[in-house]
Amino acid sequence: MSVQKILGDWKKKQYKPVYWIYGEEDYFIDVLADYAEKNILNESEASFNLTVFYGKDAEWTAVINACKRYPMFAEKQVVLLREAQLMNAIEKLESYVEEPLGSTIFIIAYKGKGLDKRTKLHKLLEKNADVFHSQKIREDKIHDWIITHVKEKGYAIGSKAAILLEEHLGNDLSRIDNEISKISVNLKEKKSIDEDDVEKYVGISKEYNIFELQAAIAFKDLAKAIKIISYFESNPKSAPIQLALPSLYAFFSKVYTVFGLADRTESALKPVFFYNPSALKQGMAAVKNFGFPGVEKIILLLNQYNLKSVGINDGGTEGASLLREMVVKIFV
């Protein structure tokens, strides 16, 4: 099952007695749980027929008793168990899952890897529930997810604007969704998001950001790199070193792998850089400008300064100063 399939069924008022929603990507679990809580029942139905439990405080007997009640003034009732991974004795739910009521929609939202597959409850859920495994989106899919997600909200987004969000927010889908919502509220009549909108409403500079610092290093433009870092220094929240270093490391790790390839043509390197034309262009420039010894040096410096950023072999130098020192060493 997918999020779209489950939501599509719910919007058509097609329900199953039990839903087992689990996995390591919290965002999709929250999307389904929020929709179930706010939209399956209308306001008058929900007052009598919506019960929400939180795993940390939920007693298994109370959850089962709620599930076994019959709806009042409605065809269905909803019992939602949020944060189910925190519930004690969750295995006790197996008696209900084995014989669920058709008039109850029981949704178990479990954040994490899930139950031991050898347990009876897991086997019953696989057999009797609609199952959705919420998996983390791969790094190479984030860009496409942003574009698709914006489209689902009724807007379009330029590639560079999507890259700015991706580079600044990483794979935190909840934050990405929040920022896209913030932008769309301010667009008024406009239906397309560009880098100016990202800069204005999210606070990510289209000129002074981690992606542009990455490009400046790849193209060996020391003056531009120092200018960008000076902006970071004046605007500490724009790109803290704890965000900048992992992003640079991810990029140069991809560049490092290029030297192990027999075919280094542009078409052969597209998959390495996840078909991102800007990253591909920067990667090819870095290969040419630094060669294997230079890229290996960059990787080592990134590791060294990552340790310094958390206080190892450093007495508390500011993040921007560490970035500047590291970049100068890269170019020496």
Give the pLDDT confidence of 301-332 residue by residue, as tens digits: 999 999 999 999 888 899 999 999 999 999 98
Give the end-to-end CA distance of the chain in Å, rounded to a whole number.
53
> Are 81 and 59 part of one and the same domain?
yes
Q: Is the pLDDT at 118 greater than 80, yes or no?
A: yes
CATH of the domain at 177: 1.10.8.60
> Are 247 and 271 part of one and the same domain?
yes
The amino acid sitting at 86 is L
Q: Residue 81, class by beta-carbon neighbours within 10 Å (0-12 exposed, 13-18 middle, 19+ buried)?
A: buried
Q: How confident is the model at residue 5 (pLDDT cuts 50, 70, 90)?
A: very high
> Are 49 and 147 part of one and the same domain?
no
- For 32, 148, 170, 180, the CA distances from 153, given in Å and listed in that order, are 16, 9, 20, 9
- Mean pLDDT of all residues in 64-91: 96
203: nearest Cα among 237, 152, 155? 237
Cβ(146)–Cβ(166) below 8 Å: yes
CATH of the domain at 94: 3.40.50.300
- For 120, 121, 123, 127, the CA distances from 116, given in Å and listed in that order, are 9, 9, 9, 15
Query: Domain span at residue 107?
Result: 3-134
Q: Residue 283, class by beta-carbon neighbours within 10 Å (0-12 exposed, 13-18 middle, 19+ buried)?
A: buried
What's the pTM value of the predicted model, to 2 decimals?
0.79
Domain count for the chain: 3
Q: Is the pLDDT at 159 greater than 90, yes or no?
A: no
Q: How confident is the model at residue 169 (pLDDT cuts 50, 70, 90)?
A: confident
